[in-house]
Structure 1
């Protein structure tokens, strides 16, 4: 994963509550075995009709086609626990999702894939929707280190994130990558207790 610190980007407003993972990535695309290539299928049934783009869907409009920030409503990512949903989001190029609340499993899966899910107060989210309606190409700046969301017009939104998750995003690590930072110590521990586990080749070697 890439290191995440902060950036400024165009906000794509998706004014819908309770968006489930089947809407994010429909089930017919779960047959792929790769973790990449899912971006083309993101919100597929909302983006396309009979194979053609729907002109009324936000991500099919300029300047939102390349938005890196998605603004939406409460309980985003509900439904099934498929990790393919965040795979499609990150593959499309979205780095940040802002909503009042997220479904728990989806929220956790975001961090495993380098996406920052930001929970803001409902009144803040409502204000941001109004700003996107008033300004075509409205932008927000995301400051992960200080845990704030700002614009050029005085808006400041504060969000919470655990120190551990913040550290992983800043370093560009998932949970496996975080563990592998201690590969030497892990190998030494295993060696000292009688069995040495070689992480590089997945082989167990019994010490004599």
Structure 2
């Protein structure tokens, strides 16, 4: 952490870029990082998400569950199957690499002619509008991690930045490094009214790789 103090402030470290120039706040809704616990040998392997991101995840997961539940076994097998074809072949005929075969999406009668992806989008929009998930600020421990102790943090902030991460660390240490769920739900007006893809599609930001605006 001392080596990364100039980038992360000295209280945590990460393999991710925290302060990417020009990156809009909507693209900074989660972050993975490590920080030391109160115990001498405790390392917390943490993921922090905004309440907005937790809301989007919950709505998408519920929509996906409902859509997949409407498919039969044969449909599920077809949706999960991946086909590959040779991409590069040596002079002797040996296949060097493969590429994924692009398939035409299947349109289902039970979805009124929509594809699985389109049905999930439709359900997700309806869930956000009519059955918005209830989100709570929380800390959730996960002891199954190979490195450190897993920790998922949900925080009601607009953007994940250094200040938000340090505030979450302070709060977690103050409650005694344990599971915790707020007694009050995040207010509905703090949460989005559209799907994540719709929100992100409304924002342009420069791509260093492409040298052009991307959505």
* Range class of TM-score, shorter chain: under 0.3
Comparing both structures, which one devotes a greater share of its residues to strand? 2
TM-score normalised by L of structure 1: 0.23
